[in-house]
Structure 1
Amino acid sequence: MSGAAPLNDYDDAAVGRITGYVEQLTGGRVVGLERLIRWRPSWFADVEVDGVVRRLHLRGDRGGDVSIFPDLKREADVIDLLHRQGLPVPEIHGYLADPPCIVMEAIAGTRDFSALDDATKSAVGRDYMHAVAAMHRLPIEPFVAAGLHQPDGAEAIALAGLDAYMPHYRRTKSRPEPLLAFVIGWLRRNVPDHRTQASFIQFDSGQYLVDQDAMTKLYDFEFSMIGDPLVDIATMGMRNSFEPLGAPLAELIGYYEEATGEPVDHDAILFHVLQFSLLGTMQFTGTVGAPKAGDPHSVYLMFDLALRRSILLALSALSGVALPDLPPLVERQGDNAPLMAKIADTLAGLAVADEGAQMQKMQVAELVGWAQRADAHGADMVAHNVADVAALLGRPFQDWNAAATALEAHVSAAGPDQDAALITLLGTIEGRRLQLFGPTALGVAASNVVLPVTRKA
């Protein structure tokens, strides 16, 4: 591999150290290495030991500056604890510090459940939710001993995610964020104080595989922590909107209630939908506002737009304040439309040598599409947003940065009596952003976001 490596990539020497470690660990020989095409460096490794080939999964470090728990060994230790307590997770075989890499069992299966009939999806969903309930029943002491923070009291349990993400957000924040400032304050004022039981939670849940019509194992515990177990129901419901979990969410919740013997609290789930959407936005806003070299920029733009839409939907449902109806966007071409078309045409004719390069080419095309919409409508959107903030605060602003900075300060100091007006204004600002970028390839996910649950009457 030549040239400068992206922040989340490993060069040939690093890959060589990994394969050498795998061979030392197993006493075998790596006979196949398949790089997985995603933003985290990871591989399937085929290892021959005494004439028998077995497959391992190698999980590298995400890189960049978006990790809340940047120590990859933390995840390895968590998965190992879960495996030792009988949870269906991959077995950890070893951990390499340089470069960071977890060597683990490769899980059989797929995320594509489309070939399963409804009865099989139901059976798989029941097994999955019973595994989640079993995970939530585990004693938390071994995880605390491994270094996970133990929240104390209803507020700390409810806001375990927010407390974990705040240091990263403060350090990486690159622009004013009035929406995030408002939601942080709203969450702190509206904690479900009856939720006092903490559990080990996957946090970014809904990740498991199916093979031969049966669930195999859960995977990806990068963000796991101790907190309200309903966080996992909230986050799997959000994942279900773009990565279906097989059985309908309502059915999955029924299986969880069956396994726990208790009804779920739908308002608490919505609270955690709002919080998780906030945290994801907090995680990526630094690099979205001030891009870092090597980051998957199109992926983070997609996340940012979709998560903001989820924030608005959950906030509206919890507060009872309806989101504003915006007039349709009047379509126009941007002043730089001919140049944008030339860039898109040149990119389309660019030959690529492998799957990784094809993915990068696709990401550039997605960014070009985003830029075309910004060129056509961005100035008009900003002008309307600045005018709305000026009307609320009673003074003019020269640009969006000044208006957003003032609005962030205002919402941070505002009391609950201003919630309705601020939700309406913030819903208008973010709604315009969705109007602008929703028609792009990166905006499809945001346009399809729905609430995973609704409030119980």
Structure 2
Amino acid sequence: MSGPVPLNEYDDAAVERITHFVEKLTGGKVVGLERLVRWRPSWFADVAIDGAVARLHLRGDRGGDVSIFPDLKREADVIDILHQHGLPVPQIHGYLADPPCIVMEAIAGTRDFSALDETTKSAIGCDYMHAIAAMHRLPIEPFVAAGLHRPEGAEAIALAGLDAYMPHYQRTKSRPEPLLAFVIGWLRRNVPRHRTQASFIQFDSGQYLVDQGAMTKLYDFEFSMIGDPLVDIATMGMRNSYEPLGAPLPELVRYYEEATGEPVDHDVVLFHVLQFSLLGTMQFAGTVGVPKPGDPHSVYLMFDLALRRSILLALSALSGVALPDLPPLAEQRGDNCPLMAKIADTLAGVPVSDEGAQMQKAQVAELIEWAQRADAHGADMVARNIADVSALLGESFDGWDAAAAALEGYASAVEPDQDAALIRLLGTIEGRRLQLFGPTALGAAASHVVLPATR
């Protein structure tokens, strides 16, 4: 391969450097290298050492401009600390700086619980939640020494995620974001002041594998930080909606309460559902607004739509303001319908030779379907949104950019007694977007988003 390396991709020379590093690190010979098909470069490596073959996992850098903690070594250091304290995480064997790559133990297992009976699922859930409770009891000083920020006081602990994500959001933001502006302000006004104990948290939790009817190990600590431990309950609940955790979430919460000896504050969990949904949207907002070369744009559109739906549901539950019921979308054809159909037809006939190319082809097909819906309904949706913003703010706008910018300014400084009207308007705007794109392959996840039931 020659020329510039695309984002999220390692060229042949980079893979060769990784291979040499693994062999030098282990004293063995790489006899198998299996590339995992996903947006992050990663591999399973089979290494022959003294007549036996060991399987390692090689975790590369995500790439692009969506990383909150872009230093991959940070994650390696965190996992190493957890391993040293006896937590069920993979052992770190080494770290390569160029190209960035963590060499770690490969974890046996799967996320598929379908073959397990309810008793086994419950036992696994109990083990998992006891591991999470043990993680939350760890001293935070080693993590602080490794470079993690230590929040002080209830507000800093509650908003550790928001404070961590804000610099990235401010730097990459590419368009007005009225919904995000409002939720940022709402969270700051409604911090749970009684939560004053910080713990090490996985943050994007609910990630572990099972093998032969038992939990193996936890994985993926890219976004880990120090903050409110109930963040992990909130985020595992959100993950459970599309990647089931085995046992029902209320049962997992009970196991956590047993392990900690303390009741879970369910309202605080919902606060963190709102915050995590916001942060995920903030993370991808820049590239969703202005797509970057090499980014898996279809994946980010799917995340964005689903996370905005989660924001609205959590905000409605916390504020007591019901989301508006919108009339059904009247189906219609766009001006470019024949051309869009022909592009989809042409793509369908393009041959692909490997799994990676098949994934890229599928992503292009998803983007075409998205564009078809925008062509058919986008102009009408924008006109309705502009009219609604004009009615609230009492001024007219020439286009959506101007209306969205004005609404963002209003949302950033809104008084609490104006929250209800603004929540209903934002619910209408985002609800129309879900109506528009929900029927697509990328919108399916958002159409099924529900708030995690923790009790």
Tell me if both proteins adopt one fold, taking TM over 0.5 as the criterion: yes
Give per-residue Cα distances to partners, 1:99-123, cap 9 Å, x unaligned.
0000000000001111111111111
Which residue of the partner structure matches residue 429 of structure 2? Answer: 429
Letter aligned with residue 257 of structure 2 = E
Q: How far apart, CA to CA, are the structure 1 residues paired with 2:167 and 2:72?
A: 18
**Partner residue, 1:179:** 179
AA in 1 matched with 2:349: G
Cα separation, 1, equivalents of 2:65 and 2:114: 35
Aligned to 2:52: 52
Give, as a single letter, the amino acid of the residue that structure 2 aligns with 1:171: R
Deviations 1:237-267 (A, max 9, x none): 0001111111111111111111111110000
2:343 aligned partner: 343
How is 1:276-425 mapped onto 2 (pairs within 5 angstroms)? 276-425=276-425
Superposed, which structure 2 residues align to 1:188-227 within 5 Å?
188-227=188-227
Distance apart, 1:5 and its partner CA: 2.9
Deviations 1:114-136 (CA, angstroms, capped at 9, x unpaired): 11111111111110000000000
Structure 2 matches for 1:103-182, cutoff 5 A?
A: 103-182=103-182
Give the secondary structure class of the aligned counterpart of 2:74: helix
Q: What SS does structure 2 have at the residue aligned with 1:377?
A: helix
1-structure distance, mates of 2:318, 2:139: 32
Distance 2:442 2:378 in 1: 16
Match of 1:25 in 2: 25
Q: How far did residue 2 of structure 1 move?
A: 4.7
* 1:36-86 residue CA offsets vs partner (Å, 9 max, x unmatched): 000000000000011110100000000000000000000000000000000
SS at match of 1:328: coil
Amino acid at match of 1:381: M
Cα deviation for residue 12 of structure 1 reads 0.3
CA contact (8 A) 1:266 1:453 kept: no
* AA matched with 2:380: D
Q: Where in structure 1 are there 5+ consecutive unaligned residues?
A: none
Q: 1: distance between equivalents of 2:358 and 2:112?
A: 22
The letter of the residue matching 2:256 is Y
Q: Structure 1: how far apart are the matches of 2:271 and 2:292?
A: 31
CA-CA distance at 1:145 after TM superposition? 0.8
List gaps (5 residues or longer) in structure 2: none
Question: What is the alpha-carbon distance in structure 2 between the residues aligned to residue 212 and residue 310 of structure 1?
Answer: 34
* Deviations, residues 153-202 of structure 1 (Å, cap 9, x unaligned): 00000000000000000000000000000000000000000000000000
Q: Deviations over 1:350-383 (max 9, x none)?
A: 1100000000000001001101110111001000
1:390, 1:4 → 2: CA distance?
Answer: 47
Give the C-alpha shift of residue 213 in structure 1: 0.4
Counterpart amino acid of residue 310 in structure 2: S
AA aligned to 2:201 is I
Post-superposition offset of 1:4:
4.2
Q: Which residue of 1 is the match for residue 36 of structure 2?
A: 36
Residues 289-319 of structure 1 show CA distances to partners (whole Å, capped at 9, x for unaligned) of 0111100000000000000000000000000
The secondary structure found in structure 1 opposite 2:43 is: strand
Q: Equivalent residue of 1:46, what SS?
A: strand
C-alpha separation in 2, matches of 1:3 and 1:426: 45
In the alignment, the residues of structure 2 paired with residue 112 and residue 433 of structure 1 have an alpha-carbon distance, to the nearest angstrom, of 32
Following TM superposition, by how much is the alpha carbon of 1:453 offset from its aligned partner in structure 2, in angstroms?
2.9
Partner of 1:244: 244
* Whole-angstrom CA distance in 2 between matches of 1:297 and 1:319: 32
> Could you tell me how far apart the structure 1 residues matched to 2:49 and 2:97 are?
24
Contact 1:126 1:255 survives alignment (8 Å): yes
- What CA distance in whole angstroms lies between the structure 2 residues aligned with 1:149 and 1:445? 33
| Alignment check: 8 A CA contact 1:208 1:219 kept | yes
Q: What amino acid does structure 2 have at the position aligned with 1:379?
A: A
Q: How many residues align?
A: 455
Is 1:11 paired with 2:11? Answer: yes
Within 1, Cα distance between the matches of 2:13 and 2:5?
12
* Aligned AA (1:348): A
What secondary structure sits across from 2:31 in the alignment? strand
Whether contact under 8 Å (1:151, 1:160) holds in the other structure is yes
Q: Secondary structure at the match of 1:43?
A: strand
Q: What TM-score, normalized by structure 2, do the two folds share? A: 0.99
CA-CA distance at 1:445 after TM superposition = 0.5
Deviation of 1:413 (Å)? 1.3
Distance (Å, rounded) in 2 between the aligned partners of 1:76 and 1:389: 47
Tell me the TM-score normalized by structure 1: 0.99
When residues 4 and 352 of structure 1 are mapped into structure 2, their CA distance, relative to the original with a 3 A threshold, is farther
Instruction: Look up the match of 1:97.
Output: 97
CA distance in 1 between partners of 2:299 and 2:209 (Å): 23
Cα distance between partner residues in 2 of 1:63 and 1:74: 15
Question: What residue identity is the alignment partner of 2:152?
Answer: D
Q: Distance in 1 between matches of 2:10 and 2:427?
A: 41
Distance across 2 between alignment mates of 1:433 and 1:248: 31
In 2, distance between residues paired with 1:178 and 1:393?
13
SS at 2:442 equivalent: helix
**SS at the partner of 2:253?**
helix
In structure 1, the residue matched to 2:229 is 229
Compared CA separation, residues 367 and 3, structure 1 to 2 (3 A): farther
Partner Cα distance (2:124, 2:230) in 1? 20
C-alpha separation in 1, matches of 2:316 and 2:180: 15
- Tell me which residue corresponds to 1:68: 68
Alignment partners' CA distance in 2, 1:453 and 1:241? 10
For residues 79 and 271 of structure 1, the distance between their equivalents in structure 2, rounded to whole angstroms, comes to 27
Q: Distance between the aligned counterparts of 2:347 and 2:248, measured in 1?
A: 40
Deviation at 1:13, TM superposition (A): 0.4
Aligned to 1:82: 82
Contact 1:316 1:322 in 2 (8 A): yes
Q: Is the 8 A contact 1:269 1:453 kept in 2?
A: no
Q: Percent identity?
A: 86
CA contact (8 A) 1:198 1:229 kept: yes
SS of 2:9's partner is: coil
1:3 positional shift: 5.3
CA RMSD, aligned part only?
0.8
